[in-house]
Amino acid sequence: MLNVLNHPLITHKLAVMRAVDCGTKDFRQNLDEIAGLMAYEITRNMPTKKVRITTPLEDMDTFKLARDIVLVPILRAGLGMVDGIRALIPTAKVGHIGLYRDEETLEPHEYFAKFPSNLPDAEVMILDPMLATGGSADAAITLVKRRGARFIRLVCLVGAPEGVKRIESSHPEVDIFLAALDDKLNDKGYIMPGLGDAGDRIFGTK
Ligand code: PRP
Ligand code: URA
């Protein structure tokens, strides 16, 4: 299911990031902050389990998260979302998937994958600021499923309808969370109006 997190703070920060004159420092900082705000919304319906604890005054029944959380950023740009979410969920473990998109064919190519051992029982959040054709997210979801992941959410900043459609059709059970759903892809596979190349803007490589 597609969830677009329409929240004034998220939309405001995203507007700052989208602007062509937003430099690397402000881009990274706003991405960090949005990722944290998104984490709060995304975890809203996560399963909890009953636990018995002892306060300084007495015993009580209360609740904790039922499953561990594993963040899986798609390199490079997904790395920019890790710290903001970890600020809220410091116990989250982090796996990594290295994918780059061929600029001609737009096909994703895998160059790295490493996951924590609790992946099959954890709530897995795949992180990537951009969901364009959906090829990279599709490949990342397929890879974590092959490694045993069962509870998967896809968390992106900006999505195109083409990418959303692809994930909904290849992985219909995966919930998709976006800060914004944009209009379309251009003929080079960039999201319009989008924010340009997320990896380059985070790491200052262009
Ligand atoms: C970008 C982006 C996604 C992918 C989206 O990464 O961060 O991973 O493209 O496009 P898609 O939905 O059409 O697959 P890129 O391949 O540019 O690598 P980078 O993060 O290293 O810059
Ligand atoms: N990757 C990006 O970084 N930006 C886009 O608009 C599309 C793919």
- pTM assigned to the model: 0.97
Q: How far apart are CA 191 and CA 206, in angstroms?
A: 18
Q: Which atom of ligand 1 is nearest to the CA of 135?
A: 14
Catalytic residue check, 67: no
* Rounded distance between C-alpha atoms, residue 127 and residue 153, angstroms: 9
The CA–CA distances, whole Å, from 167 to 18, 126, 133, 135 equal 24, 12, 9, 9
Q: What is the structure's pLDDT at 206?
A: 83
To the query of whether residue 11 is one of the catalytic residues in this protein, the response is no
The string of pLDDT tens digits covering residues 25-81 is 999 999 999 999 999 999 999 999 999 999 999 999 999 999 999 999 999 999 999
Cis peptide before 193 (omega within 30 of 0): yes
Residue from 18, 28, 86, 101 carrying the catalytic annotation: 101
